[in-house]
Structure 1
């Protein structure tokens, strides 16, 4: 146990040295590559305007997403009506999708409880 702690400590120290040595260069490179997204001058008013634009753009996209969802739902309804003709591949895909939804639900529950598996705080 103590040796693994020393190894972990050593790796954390190496990572810290690497970041302190190369972090500034990476930061500058990242800003240079994405300078077209930087708003000058960065004022509070401009930030408020951008946040409102994002909000209302997202709100405007709701009907398009709703239409895509209803098309998917209609497809599932058609598959359910023809469930006698359902292939094994389609059933497998549906099962995997259901499993993925359940996994996301469980993950959300765990995160919501503060990353505890029992629901009790220790």
Structure 2
């Protein structure tokens, strides 16, 4: 166990040294490659305009998302209608997804109650 811990410490130290050595250069490279996205003199007005552009761009994408949603619903309905043709792996993936959703719901409930199982704090 001690040797495993030593190996982990050595690997983390070498990784942090690599980041310290190459991180600044990578940061400068990314900024240089994307400099056309950088506003030279950011002002409050420009930031507000960009936020409005983002909002209305997202709003404009809603009809396409709505259409995609209904296509997915129709696909799911067809799968349910022809459930005798389902493969075992498709059933397994669906069961795993349902179990994961249920688990996240339960964890969210526990967090919402203040990390108590019964809802009463002692």
- TM superposition score normalised by structure 1: 0.67
1:57 maps to what in 2? 57
Distance 1:48 1:15, change over 3 A: same
Distance 1:80 1:9, change over 3 A: closer
- TM superposition score normalised by structure 2: 0.67
Moved more, 49-58 or 1-10: 1-10
The alignment covers a number of residue pairs equal to 113
Q: Which runs of 5+ in 2 are unaligned?
A: 117-122
Partners of 1:23 and 1:87 lie apart in 2 by 52
The alignment yields a C-alpha RMSD, in angstroms, of 3.0
Runs ≥4 in structure 1, deviation > 6 angstroms?
none
Q: Give 1:25 shift.
A: 0.8
For residues 85-104 of structure 1, the aligned pairs below 5 Å read: 86-89=84-87, 92-93=89-90, 95-103=92-100
Partners of 1:40 and 1:110 lie apart in 2 by 45
Q: Which runs of 5+ in 1 are unaligned?
A: none
